[in-house]
Amino acid sequence: MAVIDNDLFFSTIPELGARIGSREFSAEELARIFADRLEKLGPRFNCLALSLRNTALAKAKEVDKDIKRGRTRGPLQGIPYAVKDLLSAAGRPTTWGAKPYARQVFDYDAAAVQKLSGVGGVLAAKLSMVELAGGGGYRYPSASLFGAGLNPWDRTRWSGGSSSGSAAAVAAGLVPFALGSETSGSIITPASYCGVTALRPTYGLVSRYGAMALSWTLDKIGPFARSAADCGLILQAISGKDGRDPGSAGKSFYYTPQYSRPLKELRIGYAPADYSERAEPAARPAFEEALRVLKDAGAQLVEARLPAFPYGDVLMAILNAEMGSVFESLIASGQVEELADKAQIAGLKASLDVKATDYLKAMRIRRLIQREFAKLFGGLDALIAPGRTGPATRADAPLSLPPGSPPAPAPAPAGDPGFGFLIQAGNLAGLPALVFPCGFAQGLPVALQVVGAPFSENLLLSIGREFQTRTDWHKRRPDV
């Protein structure tokens, strides 16, 4: 077997696939290498929920047999990966990050796991998460069965919620890629804080069968990886129609970088306040330089505003109503008291009091939001904004938002919110988003998010890929 150096752990999917294909090492050897690293370093960042070493090695042996027989299954064949612990793995605990479910076991794999297995992916671990994916609103990063997610760039900082383990594991080189989920920011935030590339797909593009439900009409499953190109390869594998998920869009995704439009043909909306007044001072130079890179690549940056809606209030009305229904039995049984965060306990209890009239009004406003965004994308190809306004917050500090609140924008001058509500708006409208690192502030990563019309993932990936050919922020790695 080849000598293992640190570069291996930060390789892209095509790079690892080429080394397996050239017989530099086998899929089984690669699975063992990553299992060792996961078990050794995962606890350092509170990101490992469960090692799946034995099942990974068994799967990798099958992959090696296929390769010897000339049976190729695509670029993910033999590549180890891990999933957020809200996705089921047959016969193994799926804890949802919460004590009441610590011994919960399903007898089937989640749809995304099934699809990745079908193309030769090697599931190596379950990864930590904020309990119940943050349902109810939590006050402290430690709201998890596994403790606060710690950032590989600085373990005094948070790795972000609720897909904390997925982002940290990829950032630390513990797996080449991971799956996480987003209801309102849980892919965008941890990817931004940990300096990895991640994709929130269009609502319904990836089946949620076998995933914990938080909000049936908001939840989405997406990849964390080394690059935009890697995200495209993963999304192609996990997307597609699934009758077991009532929210399935009935569509598949095919990654087609060869047909990408040049950036000079794209009109990308942005709000200047996002990069000056709203951004934290330490992060402003990185954001401004990132915009310059896109302009130099030929992108037409056009000042724009989000349609005027109470995004936060609408999202919380929908989320709280659906969450209360999902966890009604947990709340009624009293087991909700076993959760780690008192604010989250209170938020879950309060969710049972949401009025049906409020929920229905919020859903009607949501439809108006979707309609207005369709109009907005009639004149723009994408929107761009900071992933978060600055670097990761401290892991031991209380979150600045009141219990139950979604991420809120930082104050902006003259009442201009910029794109501060883009996370909430994008999730309400079911829009895809790509987040990728664009620099550093105070020694920690910061990132951009690019949002597009439904099913515009190839366009977003082309923007990210062009940015990453012109910069190397996605290749930077923490000292772990």
Q: Looking up tokens 């076998």, which residue turns up?
A: 210
Residue 144 bears catalytic tag? no
Two structure tokens written together for 459: 């366009």
**At 245, phi and psi to the nearest 5?**
-110, 110
Which of the residues 162, 166, 181, 248 is marked catalytic? 162
* List of E strands, 85-152: 122-127, 150-151
Residue 61 bears catalytic tag? no
Distance from C-alpha of 456 to C-alpha of 376, rounded to nearest angstrom: 14
What number of residues does the chain have?
A: 480
Which of the residues 84, 115, 126, 220 is marked catalytic? 84
Contact 312, 421 (CB under 8 A): yes
Number of neighbouring beta carbons within 10 Å of residue 475: 12
Helix 27-41 and helix 13-21: axis angle, to 10°? 140
Number of neighbouring beta carbons within 10 Å of residue 471: 17
Q: Looking up tokens 């749809």, which residue turns up?
A: 111
Peptide bond into 159 cis (omega under 30): no
Sheet with 197-200, side-by-side order of all strands: 48-51, 122-127, 80-84, 177-182, 220-225, 197-200, 433-441, 444-451, 382-386, 267-270, 300-303
Which of the residues 117, 142, 159, 186 is marked catalytic? 186
Two structure tokens written together for 456: 């515009």
Residue 128 bears catalytic tag? no
Residues tagged active-site: 84, 162, 186
